[in-house]
């Protein structure tokens, strides 16, 4: 988690003040525990090993996308193209894989590793275009990635032409839908991506630059940080993560089709923000994202384990997200007040 | 599961049973089951637990299906739990994963994205749960061994409404087809039906077949362009009624209400439109018959041990509905109100 209390003066503060300072980190964690307890009490089928595996599997794709998005949001930018880049990468992978004759698309079958490489390269290329637009041309990331969202969807539509492609390389099938013992491979891949994401953010100079750029861009520039390069890099990291998620997602869902990943945009942003990473940049991290992803995963899963009006479930998801956003903004204000007092 | 006993408990139970049998007969007739078999199958004494999911409850067709499944579930003592697909393939996959982690007597699913639910559906089938596929293929039938697939013949639906339109324009003129999403098997079938009829009318010219993707906003935009581009449009066929009614609003705004409109699904708003002449015809995609039929199929499988095959339920049950014009719109509305079609 971010913002450890290392200031000795802060440690002398009353407990409630110290807890208040950690509100951003504590609130999502408490929410997660509360949800787990609540659903365990309400449904005997919720707290089972099989269902834990189920939840982890369900959140894996969101988690991989959210890693890249965490970098972007930490830099006080946004990437609205994550889902469409994931979709384009998945469709690109299917395009470069031999499809059944019933799938009426003109594709270009290539060996599996090459198809995977090209799909990832495609995602990276889209990320590079976004990075160029945001940093060199100076288009706000909200608008630039909105355009990239359309471009990603367009590439997907052009290649798949309204059809459904079922085949992807065997390695991707194994990683997306296979298991090693009781543990699905996709969970392990997500864990690896989260770990690498955390290590880079927490223990490298680049990671510190990401926090600096998000915390105070002007100060970072004056300190000699190549802000444009950092922003460009996070945009490409985001696209890479989306590309990996898109390839695995196609295997997980068993098919590649247009607009398949649309809901991952809001899910991934929600996961990052619900976890406590600040929408204004500079605060948060992969730890927060893990908690956020799990809060959403447990919520989505748990609501399906209890008897409830189907129409109410969507509202409840929205209310929990709203609650998290209120805590996020409130924590931001509290921190600003403390800084003002200090 | 419990063996079915005759209803017990005097006159009230007798009346309930009689009402159930009477209400069920038309539906069973509709899906090709012998009503006598229903008497044999009957209600389960112990409530059965069934899980249902359809494409998304935002769609009126799906919401009507949910109401029908719950209605028929009550009659047959089936406790229906709903997993909303939210018109989103990945959300529905999550819901079906959650469904598969629980125990059910039977399940019924209409897939929003073909091929996206295969893994959890296979898990349920492997666990011995009868899975009934509704309206849209979960995956090609040789890939998942579903108990049965209850669906209309989309090609027939497309052809029958197109034929009604051709008759209305006297077999000559210009026509536009606004399709659903191209990857949807229903849309593909309806388009085939449309093509098969139109090619028999050499004096009919097809002006455009741009897909509207079931999206009424997109349809309004497309039709703004059509009406500007084409001064004469004789008829228009839409792959569902929602798109047809959205286009009608654009036509009315531009004073082009002379275009004969055909739709698909025959939901209540479209029935009203057919009755008052805004639409020429639509064809019923029988949501109640499909969802209610899934209850029957599940109960028959669990209570009476009905299997898939020549002695039991066919692998594919075609659940066609009729073409609806002014003449039968009122009757169709009544049957829908009582979840019969």
Chain A: closest CA distance from residue B181 (Å): 7
User: Which of B89, B102, B118 faces A260 most closely, judged by CB atoms?
Assistant: B89
If you measure CA to CA, which chain B residue comes closest to A176?
A: B119
If you measure CA to CA, which chain A residue comes closest to B180?
A: A162
Task: For residue A266, give every residue at least 6 positions away whose Cβ sits within 8 Å of its Cβ, in sequence order, or none.
Answer: none
Q: Is A257 in contact with B89 (Cβ distance < 8 A)?
A: yes
Does the domain formed by B10-152+286-319 have CATH 3.30.450.40? no
**Sheet of strand B316-318: strand arrangement:** B78-82, B48-53, B106-109, B131-134, B148-151, B316-318
Q: What pTM was estimated for this model as a whole?
A: 0.78
The pLDDT of residue B321 is above 60: yes
Task: For residue A39, give every residue at least 6 positions away whose Cβ sits within 8 Å of its Cβ, in sequence order, or none.
Answer: A46, A47, A298, A301, A302, A305, A306
Token couple for B117: 């639910």
> What is the structure's pLDDT at B139?
86
Pairing of strands B78-82, B48-53: parallel
User: Which of B86, B103, B183 faces A257 most closely, judged by CB atoms?
Assistant: B183
Token couple for A195: 């770990």
CATH fit for domain B154-283, picks 3.40.50.2300, 3.30.70.260, 3.90.550.10, 3.40.50.1970: 3.40.50.2300
> What is the structure's pLDDT at A171?
95
State whether residue A314 sits within 8 Å of chain B by CB: yes
CA distance B63 to B56: 8
Chain B: closest CA distance from residue A291 (Å): 19
> What is the structure's pLDDT at A321?
78
> What is the structure's pLDDT at A340?
65
- Tens of pLDDT, residue by residue over B106-115, are 999 999 878 8
Element (H, E) at B151: strand B148-151
Q: Is B183 in contact with A163 (Cβ distance < 8 A)?
A: yes
Q: Is B90 in contact with A305 (Cβ distance < 8 A)?
A: no
The pLDDT of residue A104 is above 70: yes
User: Which of B98, B118, B139 faces A54 most closely, judged by CB atoms?
Assistant: B98
CA distance B282 to B270: 7
What distances in angstroms separate CA A206 from CA A201, A220, A241, A284, one per listed residue? 7, 12, 17, 15
What distances in angstroms separate CA B210 from CA A173, B169, B193, B225, one per listed residue? 34, 22, 16, 11
DSSP-derived 3-state class of residue A30: helix
The pLDDT of residue B242 is above 60: yes
DSSP-derived 3-state class of residue B261: strand
State whether residue A304 sits within 8 Å of chain B by CB: yes
User: Which of B89, B95, B114 faces A304 most closely, judged by CB atoms?
Assistant: B95
CA distance B251 to B216: 14
State ipTM.
0.72
Q: Is A310 in contact with B84 (Cβ distance < 8 A)?
A: yes
State whether residue A164 sits within 8 Å of chain B by CB: yes
Q: Which residue, B246, B253, B256, B181, is CA-closest to B220?
A: B246
Pairing of strands A179-180, A183-184: antiparallel
**Contact present, B319 and B150 (Cβ < 8 Å):** yes
Q: What is the 3-state secondary structure of B209-221?
A: CCECCCCHHHHHH
> What is the structure's pLDDT at B30?
46
> What is the structure's pLDDT at B185?
80
Q: What is the 3-state secondary structure of A246-277?
A: HHHHHHHHCCECCCCCCHHHHHHHHHHHHHCC
Chain B: closest CA distance from residue A267 (Å): 10
Pairing of strands B235-238, B260-262: parallel
> What is the structure's pLDDT at B32?
45
Element (H, E) at A310: helix A310-341
**Contact present, B159 and B134 (Cβ < 8 Å):** no
Whole-number percent of chain B with pLDDT over 70: 88
Higher per-residue confidence, B239 vs A165: B239
Chain A contact probe: residue of B94, B99, B210, B211 with most A CBs at under 10 A: B94
> What is the structure's pLDDT at B41?
62
User: Which of A57, A258, A260 faces B90 most closely, judged by CB atoms?
Assistant: A260
Chain A residues closer than 8 Å to B114 by CB: 164, 255, 257
Q: Is B182 in contact with A307 (Cβ distance < 8 A)?
A: no
Chain B residues whose C-beta sits inside 8 Å of any chain A C-beta: 57, 66, 81-84, 86, 88-91, 93-95, 97-103, 113-119, 139, 181-183, 211
Chain A contact probe: residue of B67, B73, B97, B185 with most A CBs at under 10 A: B97
Q: Is the sign of the CA dihedral A213, A218, A220, A226 positive or negative?
A: positive
CA distance B198 to B213: 22
User: Which of B100, B113, B117 faces A260 most closely, judged by CB atoms?
Assistant: B113
**Contact present, A256 and A88 (Cβ < 8 Å):** no
CA distance A27 to A30: 5
Torsion angle in degrees (nearest 10) through CA of A285, A286, A292, A293: 160
- Tens of pLDDT, residue by residue over A183-236, are 999 999 999 999 999 999 999 999 999 999 999 999 999 999 999 999 999 999
CA distance B54 to A81: 28
Q: Is A45 in contact with B101 (Cβ distance < 8 A)?
A: yes
CA distance B268 to A56: 42
**Contact present, B114 and B93 (Cβ < 8 Å):** no
If you measure CA to CA, which chain A residue comes closest to B84?
A: A310
**Contact present, A276 and A32 (Cβ < 8 Å):** no
Q: Is A166 in contact with B115 (Cβ distance < 8 A)?
A: yes
User: Which of A54, A166, A262 faces B97 most closely, judged by CB atoms?
Assistant: A54
If you measure CA to CA, which chain A residue comes closest to B58?
A: A311
CATH 3.40.50.2300 residue ranges in chain B?
10-152+286-319, 154-283
User: Which of A163, A177, A264 faces B119 most closely, judged by CB atoms?
Assistant: A177
Phi, psi of B114 (to 5 degrees): -65, 135
For tokens 């897939």, the residue is B111
- Tens of pLDDT, residue by residue over B19-47, are 444 444 444 444 444 545 555 567 778 89
- Tens of pLDDT, residue by residue over A119-174, are 999 999 999 999 999 999 999 999 999 999 999 999 998 998 877 888 999 999 99
> What is the structure's pLDDT at A100?
80
Chain A residues closer than 8 Å to B83 by CB: 304, 310
- Tens of pLDDT, residue by residue over B166-224, are 999 999 999 999 999 877 788 889 999 999 999 999 999 999 999 888 888 889 889 99
CB–CB contacts below 8 A, A to B: 87
Least confident of A262-271, B4-13, B251-260, B291-300: B4-13
Q: Is B94 in contact with A261 (Cβ distance < 8 A)?
A: no
Report, in angstroms and rounded to the nearest whole number, the Rg of chain A calculated over CA atoms.
Answer: 21
DSSP-assigned letters across all residues of B6-75: PP-SHHHHHHHHHHHHHHHHHHHHHTT--HHHHHHH---SSPEEEEEE-S-TTSHHHHHHHHHHHHHHHH
Chain A residues closer than 8 Å to B117 by CB: 254
If you measure CA to CA, which chain A residue comes closest to B89?
A: A260
Chain B residues closer than 8 Å to A300 by CB: 94, 98
Q: Is B102 in contact with A307 (Cβ distance < 8 A)?
A: no
State whether residue A289 sits within 8 Å of chain B by CB: no
**Contact present, A16 and A24 (Cβ < 8 Å):** no
What distances in angstroms separate CA A192 from CA B297, B306, B338, one per listed residue? 45, 48, 54
The pLDDT of residue B15 is above 50: no
Strands (E), chain A: 179-180, 183-184
CA distance B79 to B103: 13
For tokens 């864990």, the residue is A191
Long-range own/partner contacts, residues A313-320 (CB < 8 A, 24 or more apart): A313/B84, A314/B84, A314/B86, A320/A31, A320/A274, A320/A295
Structural domains in chain A, CATH included, are: 24-331 (1.10.3470)
Element (H, E) at B287: helix B287-303
Chain B contact probe: residue of A245, A254, A313 with most B CBs at under 10 A: A254
CA distance A54 to B233: 53
User: Which of A54, A252, A263 faces B88 most closely, judged by CB atoms?
Assistant: A263
State whether residue A255 sits within 8 Å of chain B by CB: yes
Higher per-residue confidence, B182 vs A300: A300
Chain A: closest CA distance from residue B139 (Å): 10
């Amino acid at each position: 988690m971010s913002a450890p209390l290392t200031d000795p003066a802060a440690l002398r503060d009353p407990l409630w003040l110290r807890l208040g300072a950690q509100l951003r980190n504590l609130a999502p964690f408490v929410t997660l525990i509360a949800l787990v307890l609540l659903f365990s009490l309400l449904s005997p089928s919720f707290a089972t090993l099989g269902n834990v595996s189920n939840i982890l599997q369900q959140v894996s794709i969101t988690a991989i996308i959210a890693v890249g998005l965490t970098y972007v949001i930490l830099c006080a930018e946004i990437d609205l193209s994550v889902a469409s880049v994931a979709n384009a990468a998945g469709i690109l992978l299917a395009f470069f894989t031999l499809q059944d004759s019933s799938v009426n698309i003109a594709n270009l079958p290539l060996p599996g590793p090459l198809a995977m490489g090209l799909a990832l390269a495609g995602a990276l290329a889209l990320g590079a275009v976004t990075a160029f637009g945001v940093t060199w041309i100076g288009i706000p990331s909200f608008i630039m990635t909105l355009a990239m969202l359309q471009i990603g969807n367009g590439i997907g539509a052009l290649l798949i032409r309204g059809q459904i492609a079922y085949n992807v390389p065997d390695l991707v099938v194994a990683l997306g839908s296979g298991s090693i013992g009781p543990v699905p491979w996709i969970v392990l891949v997500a864990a690896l991506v989260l770990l690498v994401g955390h290590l880079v953010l927490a223990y490298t100079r680049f990671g510190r630059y990401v926090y600096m750029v998000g915390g105070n861009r002007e100060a970072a520039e004056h300190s000699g940080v190549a802000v444009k390069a950092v922003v460009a890099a996070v945009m490409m990291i985001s696209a890479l993560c989306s590309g990996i998620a898109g390839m695995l997602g196609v295997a997980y869902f068993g098919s590649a089709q247009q607009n398949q990943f649309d809901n991952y945009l809001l899910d991934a942003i929600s996961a990052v923000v619900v976890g406590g990473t600040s929408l204004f940049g500079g605060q948060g991290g992969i730890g927060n994202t893990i908690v956020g992803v799990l809060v959403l995963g447990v919520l989505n899963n748990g609501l399906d384990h209890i008897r409830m009006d189907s129409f109410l479930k969507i509202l409840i998801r929205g209310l929990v997200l709203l609650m998290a956003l209120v805590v996020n903004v409130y924590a931001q204000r509290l921190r600003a007040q403390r800084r003002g007092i200090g | 599961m419990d063996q079915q006993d005759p209803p017990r408990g005097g006159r009230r139970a007798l009346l309930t049973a009689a009402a159930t049998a009477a209400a069920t007969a038309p539906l069973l007739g509709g899906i090709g089951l012998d009503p006598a078999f229903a008497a044999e199958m009957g209600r389960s004494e112990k409530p059965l637990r069934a899980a249902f999911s359809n494409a998304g409850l935002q769609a009126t067709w799906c919401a009507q299906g949910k109401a029908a499944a719950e209605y028929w579930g009550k009659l047959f003592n089936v406790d229906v739990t709903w997993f909303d697909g939210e018109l989103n393939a990945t959300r529905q996959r999550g819901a079906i994963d959650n469904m598969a982690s629980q125990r059910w007597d039977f399940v019924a699913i209409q897939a929003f994205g073909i091929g996206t639910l295969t893994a959890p559906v296979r898990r349920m089938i492997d666990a011995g749960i009868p899975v009934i596929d509704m309206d849209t293929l979960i995956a090609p039938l040789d890939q998942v061994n579903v108990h049965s697939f209850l669906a209309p013949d989309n090609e027939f639906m497309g052809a029958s409404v197109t034929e009604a339109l051709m008759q209305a324009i006297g077999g000559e003129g210009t026509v536009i087809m606004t399709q659903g999403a191209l990857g949807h098997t229903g849309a593909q079938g309806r388009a085939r039906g449309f093509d098969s009829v139109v090619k028999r009318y050499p004096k009919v010219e097809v002006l455009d077949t741009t897909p509207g993707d079931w999206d009424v906003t997109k349809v309004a935009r497309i039709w703004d362009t059509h009406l500007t581009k084409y001064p004469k449009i004789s008829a228009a066929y839409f792959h569902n009624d929602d798109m047809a009614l959205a286009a009608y609003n654009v036509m009315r705004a531009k004073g082009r209400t002379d275009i004969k409109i055909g739709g698909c699904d025959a939901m209540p708003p479209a029935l009203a439109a057919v009755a008052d002449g805004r639409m020429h015809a639509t064809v019923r995609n029988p949501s109640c018959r499909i969802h209610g039929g899934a209850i029957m199929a599940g109960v028959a499988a669990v209570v009476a041990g009905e299997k898939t095959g020549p002695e039991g339920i066919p692998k594919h049950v075609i659940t066609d509905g009729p073409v609806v014009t002014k003449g039968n719109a009122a009757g169709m509305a009544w049957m829908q109100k009582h979840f019969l079609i």
